[in-house]
Amino acid sequence: MATCKPLFLILLIQCILLAESCDQDQHNIFDVINFGAIGDGANDDTEAFKHAWDAVCGSSVSSPTFVVPGGKTFVLQPLTFNGQCNSTTFTFQINGTIIAPSNPSEWKCNDKNCHQWITFEHFDGLSIQGSGTINGQGTNWWTLSCEDNEELCDKKATGFVIAHSNNVQISELTFEDSPKVHISLERSTLINATRLTIQAPGDSPNTDGIHIQHSTNVSIDQSLIQTGDDCVSIGDGSSYIDISNINCGPGHGISIGSLGRNGHNESVEFVHVRDVSFNRSTNGVRIKTWQGGHGHVRNITFERITSHGARRPIIIDQYYCPHDHCSNETSAVEIDNVAYSQIEGTTDRETAVQLACSESTPCTNIFMKDINLRYEEDEEKTSSYCLNAQGLRNGRVSPNVTCLQQDDNF
């Protein structure tokens, strides 16, 4: 009997510890259902989500988890989660479906939050993950006549925003049919978006997959992006951006810019785009700037890119203007030190490489190595266009880009 006492005590202690651990885990979990959410796809669950977040934010537990359970559909009006709370790190486990009101006139917002649907701001340590879907139900927004509904058009919202935050991980989720941009990363640093699916019809307007602006140290990888605009767009004030293993198309490709509109001084630098496949996109890797702008785009690398019928696999456009009437300006955003290597595949236009640079501010230090692009209807007609660009080419560069000098030493 004496030999059984230590074993009994050990088992008792283990049971107590397990019970405390389970109890602690339960206290860390905040399920929106417990705060009144219905999840039937019809009732508005915004207030329940607010109550759940108030409880999370006011809780003293470490690393709480906000849970959106699977098997349900939750209707949300524009909502902001502010991370200035008691805890420093948070997890959002989204396994269910979150939808916006389908009718633009049913959106409830004020001037402060009309342009964003779901916003996370002021976090330092945030994980947003799960098997769920974020659906902005943008169909009625896309067909809206702005001439007849100017007030509603001004409220067209970006779907999912990370702002003024650090150390953020977004993974596994699906984003669909945002009224405008699907995901926007703004004024943030150390952001990783991985294994995402972002989808909208190819003709849906301004539905960029991921837009980055005023942000640094951002990585986007292992994602499928099929939208009506840029798969990834990189705006002003962004640097140290790494984009890899992306399947892009339909859409407008991966774009730096547009920059310099209305004479603004805007810059992007240290961008690395690699291992990307473009499928019937209107562009592949693109840099676009407005005439009359100021600033710079520099230290950019595009490598291991495959084009499957993209219209313009490689394009620099310092004359970007999507309007019918565009004025000629002398100043331009400087473009310098851009490297292209191991880019291959087909294009559905004869001009596979287009470098249209400014006379006053030519593109400098453009490097191309191991380029093999072919017009899919007639390989022999594949061509390039090169205006005011300077740099070097190495190895096979097809089509030949004659404004770049051959140099076998880089």
What CA–CA distance (Å, rounded) separates 216 from 198? 22
Ranges of beta strands (E only) in 152-293 are: 158-163, 166-171, 174-176, 183-186, 189-194, 197-199, 210-213, 216-226, 232-234, 238-248, 254-259, 265-279, 283-289
Nearest to 271 by CA among 230, 220, 198, 195: 220
Which two tokens mark 409?
């030493």
252 is catalytic: yes
Nearest to 186 by CA among 114, 121, 98: 121
| Gyration radius from the chain CA atoms | 25
User: Choosing from 252, 264, 308, 325, which is the catalytic residue?
Assistant: 252
Task: Give me the residue label for tokens 């198309």.
Answer: 249
What CA–CA distance (Å, rounded) separates 302 from 281? 17
Task: Give me the residue label for tokens 């909208």.
Answer: 200
- 92: β partners: 66, 128
What CA–CA distance (Å, rounded) separates 364 from 359? 12
The amino acid present at 334, given as its one-letter code, is E
Q: CB-based contacts of 265: which residues, under 8 Å, 6+ apart?
A: 293, 294, 295
Could you tell me the CA-to-CA distances from 399 to 101, 314, 350 in Å, in that order? 49, 11, 10
Nearest to 56 by CA among 25, 93, 87: 87
CA 45 from centroid of its chain's CA atoms: 26
Contact at 8 Å (CB) between 100 and 66?
A: no
Length of the chain as a residue count: 410
CA 172 from centroid of its chain's CA atoms: 14
3-class secondary structure, 377 = coil
Contact at 8 Å (CB) between 158 and 117?
A: yes
Q: Is 349 left (phi over 0), alpha (psi -120 to 50) or beta?
A: beta
Q: Which residues are catalytic?
A: 252
